[in-house]
Structure 1
Amino acid sequence: MINSNVTTVKDFVILGLPGLDPVYYGLFSALLFLTYLFILIGNIFILVFVGLEKRLYKPTYLIFCHLSMNDLLFGTVTLPKIISRYWLDDKITSFGACFTQMYFVHSLGAINSFILMIMAFDRFIAVLFPLTYPILITNINISLACGLLWIGTFLWMIAIVFHAISLVYCNSNIEQCYCDHMSLTNLACGGNVRYVQTLAVGIAMFSVLIALFFIVFSYISIFAVVLKMKNTNGRYKILSTCTPQLLVSGLYYLPRCFVYLAHAIGFYFSVDIRILMILLYSLLPCAVNPFIYCFKTKDIKDILMKRMNNAKVGMKQVSK
C-alpha cells in the first residue's frame, strides 16, 4: 500500500466481531449498553458510598475505591465506541483517537494489576504481621502507593505508545472492538514491527507476572497461616476478610491465564471467540466487582443492611 516510511493511514476501521450477523447488531449493542450501565452505577456507588461513610475510611476500602475508579475509567474508555459501532454503525476512529484509546486501555490494565497486588499486600500484612499492620498500612501510605502507581504507569506507557506510533501503517481494519497494541501493530509493516511488538509484550508480561507472583505468594502464605490455626472463628474471620480480594483477583487473572495457556499449548480460537473472550475478561470484572464488595465485605454489607432496615422502619412510620 505504501512504499515510503510515512504512514498514509489517517483513520482506522473498527471491525468488531467479523462473524456477527447484522441482525444481531442491535441486541449486541444493547447488551454492551447494559454492561456499561452496570459499570457506571456500581462503581460510582462504591466511590460515593465509601466517600460518605466515615466508618469506611480505612486502607482496605481506599484500595477498593482506586480499583472502582480504574474499572469506571476502563469501561468509559472502551464501551462507548463499541456501542456506537454497533448501534449507530460508527466504525471509523481517527488515527490519534485510536492511539489515545490504546494508551488508556493498556495503562488502566496495568494499573488494575498493580492495585490487585497492593490489595494482596494489605491482606498479607494484616494476617502475617498484625501488630505492624496499623504502622505500615495507613491511609496516607496507601494513597502514596496508589498515587505513585497511577503516575508511574501513565508515564512509562507513553514510551510504548510512541514506539507504536513510529511504525508505518499499511492497513486500517482493526479486528477488535477497541484499539489495543497488538491489533494496531498487526496493521503495520516494516522491519521494526516485530521488535515493537516483542518489546511491548515483554514489558506487559514482566509487569503482570510480578504482580501475579506476589498475589499468589501472598494468598498461599495466608492459607498456610489459616491452616495452622486451631480457632475456628479466627479461621472464618480471616477467610471472610480475604474472600472479596480473592474473588476480584481470580476474576481478573484466571480467564487471562486460561487464554495464554491455551495459546501456549497450541490451541487457537476463532477470531470472534477470541474477541468475545477478551471482552468478557476485560469488562466482566468492571461490572461485577462492586457487587462483590457489597455482598462479600462485612463492613459494607452491615452498613447497607442497617441503612435498608432504617429505611423500612421510616416507611412504616410514614404509612402509619
Structure 2
Amino acid sequence: MLAENQSSITDFFIIGFPGLLPRYYGLIATVLCLIYVFTILANAIFLAIFITDQKLHKPMYFIILNLVVSDVLFSTTTLPKIIARYWSQAGTISFTACFVQMYFVHYFGSVNSFVLLIMAIDRYVAICNPLRYSNIISNFLISILSIISWVIAKIVPLMMVIRAYPLPYCASNSIIHCYCDHISITTLACTDRAAYAYPAFASAMVVLLVPLAFILFSYCSILVAVFKIATTQGRLKTLSTCSAQLIIISLYYLPRCFMYMASNVGITFSPDLRIAIIMLYSLFPPMVNPLIYCLRTKEVKESLFQKLKKRVDIQKANVLT
C-alpha cells in the first residue's frame, strides 16, 4: 500500500503555545497582529522610499529590496493563521495547505540566507577593493545573483515537502508550533522519522552554514582591511558603512546557531520557551530590519527626512492658504 493511502488525517490544528492559558489568547493575538501590521507598514515605507528616490537605485539597496520582499512574504505566510487561531479559535489548516505553508516557511528562510551572503560579498568588495567596486558590483550583477538565490532556495524546501508529504499521518493532528514546519509535521508521522529527519537537517545546515562560512570570511577580511587604515576616524567611518548589514546578519544567524548548538549539546527548553525563541528570531528581524535600513543607512535616512520635511512644508502651506 502506498504511504499516502495510509494517512487518516485530513487536516491539522495549529496549537501555538501549548502552555498558554485561554485568557491570554486575545493578548497574544493582539501582539502578533501589531507585529504583522508594523512589519508590513515599515517595509512598505522602505519600498516607497526606494521606488521614489533614484539615488537609492544602487546595488546595496537592491539587495535590501530582496530582504524586504522575503520578510513581508514570510510574515504573511505565518502570522495570519496563528492570529486567527488565538482570536477566533480558527487553528484548523488543511492537510495540503499545511505542507504549502511548510514549503514557504523554509523557502523564504533559505532566500534570506542567500541574500545575506550577497550582502556580505557587496560589503567585502566595497571595503577590501574600493577602487574596483563600481567595476565589479553593478545593479545587473546583483539582479542576477538575486534571481539565482530565489531559484536555488527552492531546492531544499521542495525536497522536504516531497519526502514528507507521502508519509502516513494517522495519529495526532495537533501541531505544537505557531506554523507548519518540517519538524512539527514529520513528528506526527506514524513511521520512523530518522530516515527523513537527518537528510532534512543536513540540507538545512548546508543552506545555513555554507553562506555563513562565506559571510564570516568576508567580515574577517573586512576587519583586517579596516585595521590597516592608519587613523581611528578612518576605521570608524569604514566600519559604519557595514554596521547596518552586520546587525541584520547577526539578527538572522546568531539565534539560529544558538538553537542548533543548544540542541546538540543537550540543552533542552520547554515547548513554550522553544516556540517563543523561534518566533522571536523569525518575526523580530522582518519587523526591525526597516528601522535599521532607515536609521543606520545614511542615504535612506536622508531621503526619509527630506520626504517628511517636504510633507510638513506642504501641510504648513495648506494651513496658511
* TM bracket (short chain): over 0.9
What do residues 14-51 of structure 1 show as CA deviations (whole Å, max 9, x unaligned)? 11111000000000000000000011101122122111
TM-score, with normalisation over the residues of structure 2?
Answer: 0.95
Taking a change above 3 Å as real, the CA distance of residues 241 and 4 of structure 1, as seen in their structure-2 partners, is closer
**TM-score of the aligned structures, taking structure 1 as reference length:** 0.95
Q: CA offsets, 1:221-254, max 9 Å, x none? A: 1111111211334323221110110110111111
Whichever residue aligns with residue 173 of structure 2, its letter is S
Partner of 1:222: 222
Confirm or deny: 8 A CA contact 2:226 2:238 kept in the other structure.
yes
Which residue identity does 2:96 align to in structure 1? G
Which AA in structure 2 matches 1:185?
T
Mapping of residues 30-49 of structure 1, within 5 Å:
30-49=30-49
Structure 1 unaligned residues grouped into runs of 5+: none
Once the two structures are TM-superposed, the CA of residue 196 in structure 1 deviates from its matched residue by: 1.1
Matched with 2:175 is 174
**One-letter code aligned to 1:70:** S
User: Which residue in 2 is equivalent to 1:188?
Assistant: 189
Residue-pair matches, total:
317
Contact 2:14 2:91 in 1 (8 A): yes
For 2:93, what is the secondary structure of its paired residue?
A: strand
Partners of 1:9 and 1:309 lie apart in 2 by 57
Shift of residue 156, structure 1, vs aligned partner: 4.4
How far apart are the structure 2 equivalents of 1:267 and 1:127?
39
Which amino acid is 2:70 matched to? Answer: N
Return the offset for 1:319.
4.0
| Equivalence map 1:91-170=2 (5 Å) | 91-170=91-170
- In the alignment, what sits opposite 2:260? 260
Name the amino acid aligned to 2:230. K
Q: What are the equivalent positions in structure 2 for 1:1-320 lying under 5 Å apart?
A: 6-170=6-170, 171-191=172-192, 193-320=193-320
Shift of 1:315: 3.8
Taking a change above 3 Å as real, the CA distance of residues 34 and 13 of structure 1, as seen in their structure-2 partners, is: same
Matched to 2:280, the amino acid is L
CA separation of 1:4 and 1:87: change in aligned 2, threshold 3 A: closer
1:107 maps to a residue whose letter is Y
Residues 116 and 249, structure 1, Cα contact 8 Å, conserved in 2: yes
User: Once the two structures are superposed, what CA deviation does each residue of 1:262-311 show, in whole Å capped at 9, x if it has no partner?
Assistant: 22221100000001111011000010100000000010111122223333
How far apart are the structure 1 equivalents of 2:4 and 2:228?
Answer: 67
Deviations along 1:55-76, one digit per CA (max 9) or x if unpaired, are 0000000000000000000000
Q: Distance in 1 between matches of 2:144 and 2:199?
A: 29
- Tell whether the 8 Å contact from 2:70 to 2:108 is kept in structure 1 after alignment: yes
Structure 1 residues 313 and 19: CA distance shift in structure 2, 3 A:
same
Give the fraction of aligned pairs with identical amino acids, expressed as a percent: 44
Q: What is the letter of the counterpart of residue 271 of structure 2?
A: V
The answer on whether the counterparts of 2:156 and 2:203 sit within 8 Å (CA) in structure 1 is no
CA contact (8 A) 2:4 2:167 kept: no
Q: Is the 8 A contact 1:47 1:69 kept in 2?
A: no
Of residues 90-99 and 156-165 in structure 1, the stretch that sits farther from structure 2 once superposed is 156-165
Structure 2, gaps ≥5 residues long: none
Report the CA distance between 1:312 and its aligned residue: 3.5
